[in-house]
Structure 1
């Protein structure tokens, strides 16, 4: 009877541990990237399980020693995706993990993909100092950083393309203002372009004088010819050297191919496109489905930054929880560090929720409660039997 009490106590402790694990699962049901756990119940036997009794009846001489509930098993099923509409929140579609680095340099693995850039331009797990790892230029794994991507270099304007209708009657549609271009330093210049017909042009040819102004100061001139409704062959583009203020002169091609010469009274010319831009700062950042950081700048330019490195762990039994939805790998098989692909994609503006099934957790909760109560009842019964035995002993 004494032994039965110890066996029942092991049952109570095992079910108490299971209740603790279930409560932890339920408490973290809204923790991104959390993986639930289950307690592994294993029976314990003492003695030999072979042989037979003296009267020849078969059976085992081993005595049950209770239950071992000291080990837990991770539930590595994926959680559902939740939309956050935040560019640096990412969700992994497929079996794999993000790779992060602790301050000690140790690598850890997580499915919680809420990231942000710190003051040093390194991508970290949001609210922590864990650095998110990427594939470097030499193929090595290193922290993902903005270094070299903080700005977009300027580009000087080389071509200005015009559009619209130029009127050969009246003065309408012969001025473009403002006309913005950029010099080699990325500085913006606001110009005015005026076009005037040349009355001395030969018959059948329409010649137009082009004058460019900056702050009402003439900085360049040229001419374009029309035959019929369009520029004559070889007349467009018109190369004009502009004496821009504060910078060396720049030659710019003015393209009139899209301009039509018509007898319209409501004619109008406009700037269709110019190929220059100033220095750009980072306007937005997001990851594409292959884990490549896509950077957009304030000058409307884009660049591809570093790409996330992901981990495929075949021996998932070697994963150990570290808290904060992090896992440490203690297995013997090498970790497969790889890039995203069709079988393992990165989805932006999403976060993975925990994989806790609340309905299943409540069902397990009831079973553990009954197990605990049953073990408690065994102790009460064994205690009553001991009390009866002691009373019998005292009555002798």
Structure 2
């Protein structure tokens, strides 16, 4: 009868390794199946037969002698390790990187899968290749998604238009050049020199100038005749010569007192320079310079002629954008910023098509000495768009600290511009994008994106408790434990790759190695059977 036991042991080996070969064959057959998870077979021995006690007594290493009765398949385990991510370029091809499963519904129950080769059917539902509905959370009309609750079929209405949005805020940022507008500058055509021929300094005595042909005396007057900024001619500024040692600085200071707000006179590299007292257009000029001799002895200074070296100009930085009324019609807005004084700008707004601005079209913006806005940084505009739209008003904000933008006035390039406005026209859906959190965003032809839905991911406490139901789908059994379903952003270490699929995790090298060992083990079990048969034949032949 012991030979019968060996025959049974051999048969159990044949059956077990046949199961392993079935598993290996299935793995190899699915080496290119999207989301496939390979399986492995675990063996355990069958019961042992006790063939008698050991006669060695208590000193023996064992108290009984046992012979095994063969092998059995203990379990077929599935390997849920990550498969290779393969790019496909198709937006609705999705791959999970990390833990979790896509959730689909076949009409009766939710199932889970790692195969993300989805597509939209004729009704706009996102489905898998078997027509099962992909589960997730659809957005409401405002584009808000409430995840974590009961899932629903993910559906996109491709005919739905995005309603227009009226402009509520326009944001300006960048730099206004502090030197955009210029002052009028009038400068001497030649420099004063001293008796040694050197360029005169502010401390040089007027009588020591090489241009002084006859020394000035106390009471002599230097009279400058000039044209004022507004074009009024014949204005004068006088300087009365004092005691010996009176310098060019003394003359400049006295003349500036008479000039007042009209301008500022300075000695620059030996040349007299008159700068307008205000920015912008100016007629300021020095017409003549004379010495009025107090004693009648022909005291004289040869003053050089003067010329305008820089025109006074008021310059403007123009910014433009399109704002939208409540019907979604765009209106071309132009805002001109004009520098009218140091650290002071005036703005004027208008529409290119002449829409009426009822309030907020003009104002003033001031800056401090550090180039930061001190007043006028935010203002409101209201206009009548016409064509059936209601009165539209919006805020204009110069810089936005929450967005990291600033509006400044430094001596540099004019870079100020409109960086954003929050209105838009009606939009038609032209494309769908899916981000790493599984959000399906509609891309519209008006440049806007809107959240339309978010995919749900499921997970279980024990993946080995999932039951394979075909087509890459798994059903959660009681052994799997509790099923958790939520969005990817609420599942740690899980993200979704759009335009990619997860490949099979079958390792061909490992499978071929297992195939070789299984073949040898199967052959060996067969040899046990054939050898036991031969031994039985010999036992039968003993009767002969």
The answer, yes or no, to whether TM exceeds 0.5 is yes
Work out whether residues 311 and 335 of structure 1, in 8 Å CA contact, stay in contact via their aligned partners in 2: no
Work out whether residues 97 and 311 of structure 1, in 8 Å CA contact, stay in contact via their aligned partners in 2: yes
* Structure 1 portions without partners, runs of 5+: 198-204, 262-266
Work out whether residues 33 and 79 of structure 1, in 8 Å CA contact, stay in contact via their aligned partners in 2: yes
Work out whether residues 105 and 135 of structure 2, in 8 Å CA contact, stay in contact via their aligned partners in 1: yes
Aligned-partner SS, 1:285: strand
In 2: Cα distance, 1:254 partner to 1:143 partner: 40
RMSD of the alignment, in Å? 4.8
Work out whether residues 87 and 348 of structure 1, in 8 Å CA contact, stay in contact via their aligned partners in 2: no
Alignment match, 1:345: 494
Is structure 2 residue 313 aligned with structure 1 residue 313?
Answer: no
**Following superposition of structure 1 onto structure 2, how do residues 202-351 of structure 1 map, counting pairs within 5 Å?**
212-214=351-353, 218-220=354-356, 224=362, 237=379, 239=381, 241-244=383-386, 246-252=387-393, 273-282=420-429, 283-289=431-437, 291-332=438-479, 334-339=481-486, 340=488, 341=490, 343-349=492-498, 350-351=500-501
Is structure 2 residue 96 aligned with structure 1 residue 91?
Answer: yes
**Which residue of the other structure, out of 150, 172, 180, is the alignment partner of 1:141?**
150
Alignment match, 1:118: 121
In 2: Cα distance, 1:13 partner to 1:194 partner: 86
Change (3 A) 1:143 1:360: same
Change (3 A) 1:186 1:367: same
Shift of 1:330: 1.9
Is structure 2 residue 50 aligned with structure 1 residue 49?
Answer: yes
Work out whether residues 363 and 376 of structure 2, in 8 Å CA contact, stay in contact via their aligned partners in 1: no
**Following superposition of structure 1 onto structure 2, how do residues 23-38 of structure 1 map, counting pairs within 5 Å?**
23-38=25-40
Change (3 A) 1:38 1:120: same
Change (3 A) 1:307 1:384: same
Aligned-partner SS, 1:11: helix
In 2: Cα distance, 1:232 partner to 1:76 partner: 63
Shift of 1:299: 3.2
Aligned-partner SS, 1:309: strand
Shift of 1:370: 0.2
* Structure 2 portions without partners, runs of 5+: 58-62, 139-145, 182-279, 282-312, 339-343, 400-406
Work out whether residues 465 and 481 of structure 2, in 8 Å CA contact, stay in contact via their aligned partners in 1: no
**Following superposition of structure 1 onto structure 2, how do residues 51-70 of structure 1 map, counting pairs within 5 Å?**
52=53, 58-60=64-66, 64=69, 66-69=70-73
Change (3 A) 1:142 1:271: closer
Aligned-partner SS, 1:380: helix
Is structure 2 residue 79 aligned with structure 1 residue 75?
Answer: yes
Change (3 A) 1:225 1:102: closer
Aligned-partner SS, 1:33: coil
Work out whether residues 158 and 253 of structure 1, in 8 Å CA contact, stay in contact via their aligned partners in 2: yes
Alignment match, 1:264: none
Is structure 2 residue 515 aligned with structure 1 residue 365?
Answer: yes
Shift of 1:366: 1.0
Work out whether residues 459 and 484 of structure 2, in 8 Å CA contact, stay in contact via their aligned partners in 1: yes
Shift of 1:171: 12
Is structure 2 residue 112 aligned with structure 1 residue 109?
Answer: yes
Which protein shows a greater Rg? 2
In 2: Cα distance, 1:333 partner to 1:257 partner: 58
Shift of 1:35: 1.5
Aligned-partner SS, 1:128: coil
Aligned residue pairs, count: 371
Aligned-partner SS, 1:247: coil
Normalising to structure 1: TM-score of the pair?
0.70
In 2: Cα distance, 1:292 partner to 1:380 partner: 63
In 2: Cα distance, 1:260 partner to 1:76 partner: 57
Change (3 A) 1:50 1:115: same
Change (3 A) 1:193 1:315: closer
Shift of 1:295: 4.7
Which stretch of structure 1 is more off in the superposition, 162-171 or 330-339?
162-171
In 2: Cα distance, 1:227 partner to 1:45 partner: 94
Shift of 1:294: 4.7
